[in-house]
Amino acid sequence: MSSCRIAFLNVMDGFSGGEIVLKRIIEGLDDEKFEKLVYTRRTKFFEEIKKTVEKTIPIEEVYQLRTVRGFKGALKALSLFFVSAKYAYHMKSNCIDIVHSNSLTSSLYFAFWAKLFGLKFIAYNHLIRRGWIYKIIYKYIYFYSDRVVCVSEAVKKCWIDEGIPEKKIVVVYNGLPDDFF
């Protein structure tokens, strides 16, 4: 039986809720049915996930532009956008079937390249953000994604309220086991 090759993409620098949920998603997939590749920054998440996933590819670039603003920030973001093509091409070269983006940030940088290289793209969103800039960001991500996964009805409603059609949006709740508390 052939397996589905999934690239999980995480450009965040921490190891908090989103990364914990992503780790559980990855570890919960049947190894017989899914071949998992994880592209992530060298963080605690990287160290934890490489214990269970053979193919963990480090992302060396810092995608979170915390203190870089203005023209310099725009140039850095543009540079990162083109650097992202290298990783997307690597995914294409590895015959990835699906790219699973773990954040709005990674979706911004990678959705376009996934579409350009013919890769299925899932944008995973767990934030509620409003305003004209997010309206543009949501439309961009929606256009280049095959599915947008929202972690709650409230997040889905946010996207719809910002003018995004419901057609490709699905809700998948972040389930937490009892031992989390």
pLDDT in tens, 144-156: 999 999 989 999 9
Domains held by the chain: number: 1
Beta bridge partners of 150: 125, 171
CATH number at residue 150: 3.40.50.2000
4-29 confidence digits (pLDDT tens)? 999 999 998 888 878 888 888 898 88
Q: Does position 68 have pLDDT exceeding 90, yes or no?
A: no
Task: Tell me which H or E stretch contains 132.
Answer: helix 132-144
Closest to 107 in 3D by CA, of 132, 124, 90 = 124
Q: Regarding predicted confidence, which is higher, 97 or 66?
A: 97
pLDDT score for 178 = 53
Q: Which domain holds residue 75?
A: 4-180
